[in-house]
Amino acid sequence: MEIKKIYFDMDGVLADFARGVREICRLEPISQNAKNNDSAKEDRMWNAIRDAGHFYDKLELMPGAKEMFDELYNRYGDKCEILTGIPKPKRGIDSAGDDKKAWVKRLLSDKIKVNIVYREEKARFCTGKDCILIDDFTKNIREWEAMGGTGILNNSSGETMAELEKLGILGKSNIVLTGMPASGKSTVGVILAKMLGKDFLDTDLVIQQREHALLCEIIEQRGVDAFLKSEEEAALSISPVNTVIATGGSVVYSEKAMQYLSGIATVIYLKADKDEITRRLRNIKERGVVLKDGENFDDMYDHRCVLYEKYADIVIEEDGSGIEGTIGKIILSCNKRKERYQIHGCT
């Protein structure tokens, strides 16, 4: 999708309004999305906000909001704008607009355009499907979509990022895990998929399904070259969306397959040292590990390392961090990869 504009709501998307009410005003915040709001409680909240003075400039960022904002702003620049509502004049919070502008300037960017409007005016900024509104108020999303725009209801920065990925606005939605046999690609992959709300695919299983044989049987009965061929074909046969893909360790020998996978996914190399892999690989043959003619384990390790590095968008050093630690590292470095978003990016 070609993007024309991305509008960020402020309160509940970038700024933590609810927490501000709780901590600055010492009141239970009223949710805009609640069915029946009590007007006496509402009055009390707005009065407290007014009395707090410069309330909007005192707010904290929503969790993950800065990261989400930076990802989009770095990639889309001037196409990003803030579109935020201010309370009606009867609430007497006269500095709201200026406070919001000051807050954006201080915490997000001093260049981004900040549109200050009354809530009902938001939808008139919408000029079509290529206009995106990220907002936490269901009513705003509904009105935006009624004007033909694309609305994203922000429940959390993480979910919004996932939604943006699905729409192709932010990054590639697939992750490919590469690395030595026993580096943990399948184990890590399944858990990573659960944590990121993605599907999981193991190309070793795709090979077994396509060939109706176990990996070790294919290698033993048909030889290494035939196996590599079917591994390449299996990789080229998949067209995943929003999926974590664990690959067989030897797919890296196929330039064609690796180029295809690089095109559809962020490639993450799980790097474990030779001793660790040796320890984990008790029986190489049963696992269907590919050793080329005359190659021993050391040769294979050295040869493949170069290739894994070559195709990796991200290298994760396992360094004995265990499954959970490795997953943590993956998520962290995915979040850090801002400048790589110029093509499509990562989760």
85/78 Cα distance (integer angstroms)? 20
Q: Smallest distance, Å, CB 63 to Mg ion?
A: 15
Per CB under 5 A, 20 contacts Mg ion: no
Query: Residue 138, Cβ neighbours under 10 Å: how many?
Result: 12
Which pair of tokens denotes residue 109?
């960017």
If the CB atoms of residues 137 and 311 are measured against Mg ion, the closer one turns out to be 137
What's the closest the beta carbon of residue 32 comes to Mg ion, in angstroms? Answer: 7
C-beta closer to Mg ion: residue 122 or 198: 122
CA distance 10 to 106: 14
Question: Which of 7, 8, 9, 289 is the binder for Mg ion (CB under 5 A)?
Answer: 9
Phi first, then psi, for residue 190 (nearest 5°) are -60, -45
Q: How far is the CB of 166 from Mg ion (least distance, A)?
A: 22
Residue 35 has φ and ψ, to the nearest 5°, of -65, -65
Q: How far is the CB of 51 from Mg ion (least distance, A)?
A: 21
Closest-by-Cβ residue to Mg ion is: 12
Residue with smaller CB distance to Mg ion, 87 or 328:
87
Residue whose CB is less far from Mg ion, 11 or 71? 11
Q: Of 11, 143, 163, 165, which lies in the binding site for Mg ion, with binding defined by CB under 5 A?
A: 11
Question: Which tokens in the block code for residue 108?
Answer: 């997000």
**Which CB sits closer to Mg ion, 31 or 259?**
31
Find, among 119, 120, 129, 118, the residue nearest to 152 by Cα: 129
Q: Does 12 bind Mg ion (CB under 5 A)?
A: yes
Distance between CA atoms of residues 263 and 265, nearest Å: 6
- Say what angle helices 255-264 and 297-311 make with each other, to 10 degrees: 40
Amino acid at 346: C
**3 state SS of 84:** strand
User: Could you tell me the smallest distance in angstroms from the CB atom of residue 194 to Mg ion?
Assistant: 30
- # of chain residues touching Mg ion (CB under 5 A): 5
Please choose, out of 33-41, 61-69, 135-143, 176-184, the segment that lies near Mg ion by the rule CB under 5 A.
Answer: 135-143
Q: For Mg ion, give the closer residue by CB, 55 or 137.
A: 137
Does 136 bind Mg ion (CB under 5 A)? Our answer is yes
Q: Which stretches of the chain bind Mg ion, using CB under 5 A?
A: 9, 11-12, 136-137
